[in-house]
Amino acid sequence: MAEGAGVVPTILLTGFLGAGKTTLLNRLIAHYGDRRLVLLINEFGAVGIDGRLLRQGNYQTVELNRGSLFCICVRTDFIAEIERIADQLRPELLIIEATGLADTTEMEKMLALPVLRRCVEVVVCLCVVDCQTFPKIKDVLRAPVSQVRSADLVLVNKCDLVSTKQAEQVVAAVRSLAPHARVLHTQYAEFPLEILDSIRRPKLSAQGPPGEGRPDPVFSHTLQADGDFSRAAWERFMASLGPGLMRLKGFISLEGQHTYVDATMASISLHPTGQPTLGRNEVVVIGRGLNRAQVESSFVQNLHASEQPAG
């Protein structure tokens, strides 16, 4: 990847909620381990979860956790951080992981601003697509469609979890949205990372001023409370969220074990971390049609129910 004088080459990593971006980001960290690397991670919740899931390495992490990277509510913070990264940290490579809710139709306008063009150049835009959920969301949400359209390389991920027919349908939908992009079938977002060096993304030209970049009408709430969930109580809380749940991730105390929980529209998994539990629960819930007060009430009530003595 060519580097202009004083301009930081940048990889933009996009993909809808739960598609596999963090898994891929860990592979990129290992692949580019010999470079002075900075990660700019954007999450939609008030606390950063993804940053705690990254492998150890010789890199620095900057987090923006107030909203979508390309939403007007975070734009000023983003510009300031890019300038600081370029002028003070001076990485050889910057990787930006955008929230799964980022509508990247505004991306080229934003990155073409003179204040950013002097700092960074996007050399490749990667998009991870979840084969399980893409058919359900592509016709009702802007973000996943805009992410595919902006990509140079699209990973049609989790192909092993769907039928061959569904995987082919997702690939066809992706190709119709991004006929210029290279499309790969993947499991666990695995592919030869050397492919990235062969991609030549067109340089951005002036696109006019960015618009409002409003995100999809999706609820996001961070839940934090002390206590220890029983398994039955945790399952009741998850059931209370109903079909509107799009993503849940975070760390909970589950029957005395510090546990990472990861849920999408299609699946849920619980992974004991092996770390000591301090009875702290911290999760981000994202969905449509969810009531903030009801979600928080269910979380706290089920946590307290776990503390009641049996009988």
| Phi, psi for 71 (deg, rounded to 5) | -90, 145
219-306: CATH superfamily: CobW-like, C-terminal domain (3.30.1220.10)
Q: Which amino acid belongs to residue 211?
A: G
State the CATH class of domain 8-198.
Answer: alpha beta
Look-up of token digits 């990247």: 104
- The conformation of residue 89, written as its DSSP 8-state character, comes to I
Domains 8-198 and 219-306 share a fold: no
pLDDT in tens, 244-283: 999 999 999 999 999 999 999 888 999 999 988 888 999 9
Is it the case that residue 44 has pLDDT exceeding 70? no
CA 182 to centroid of chain Cα atoms: 21
Q: In whole angstroms, what is the distance from residue 62 CA to residue 74 CA?
A: 14
Q: Give the number of other Cβ atoms within 10 Å of residue 293's Cβ.
A: 8
Domains of the chain, by residue range, sit at: 8-198, 219-306
CB 246 within 8 A of CB 208: no
Is it the case that residue 311 has pLDDT exceeding 80? no
pLDDT in tens, 84-125: 999 999 999 999 998 888 878 666 677 778 888 889 999 999
Q: In whole angstroms, what is the distance from residue 196 CA to residue 1 CA?
A: 8
Helix, strand, or coil (residue 284): strand
pLDDT band of 159, cuts 50, 70, 90: very high
Residue 223 forms beta bridges with which residues? 283
pLDDT in tens, 177-187: 999 999 999 99
Q: Which amino acid belongs to residue 277?
A: T
Look-up of token digits 């991870």: 128
